[in-house]
Copies of this chain bind each other. A is one copy, B any other.
C-alpha cells in the first residue's frame, strides 16, 4: 500500500468519516506540536449524540463495547483528518491509543472491547496503524458514555 491510498482504502472498506464531533467542554479537538498530533478523548458519538451509554459487562455486552470503541476510533479519524486539512495520508503512524471503558468492579475484558478501536486503525492504516495502548476501567465517563478513546498520531 502506498501512502497515497488511505482515503481510497477507506472507501473500499466502506468506512465513511463522520463530521468531527464538537468538544464537550472548553478545549479543542486536536493540537499539533512538531510531528505529534494529539486528539482529545473521543466518545461513541453519532450525529451529535452519545449512542452507547452505561457500563460494559452490566448494562452493555462486550460486543456493544466493541462497537462503541470502534465508533470512538472513527471519531478520532475524523478529527485527525480535520487536523490534516482533510488528508489522512499525512498520518505517518498511529502512535498511541488510551482507552477507558465504563465498567463495574470485576470486569476484565477491556482488551477485547478496545480491540474495536485498535482494529479500525490497522484496517485503515495497515502496518502504520499499529500502536501502543493503555486500557483502563473507568467508574464513570463523560455524558455516561460506555467508552472513551484518546489518540496520538505522527504526521508529516
Contact = CB atoms under 8 A, between A and B. Distances in A.
Interface of A: 23-31, 33-36, 38-41, 55, 93, 95-98, 100-112, 114-115, 118-119, 122, 130-145, 148, 150, 154
B141 A139 contact: no
A23 to B, nearest CB: 8
Interface-centre pick from A34, A97, A110, A130 (highest chain B CB count, 10 A): A110
B134 A137 contact: no
29 contacts: A23-B133, A25-B111, A25-B115, A26-B118, A27-B118, A27-B131, A27-B132, A28-B130, A31-B95, A33-B95, A33-B154, A34-B35, A38-B132, A41-B133, A41-B134, A100-B134, A101-B140, A102-B105, A102-B137, A104-B140, A105-B140, A106-B144, A107-B140, A108-B140, A110-B140, A111-B143, A135-B141, A135-B148, A136-B148
Contacts of A154: 33
A41 B135 contact: yes
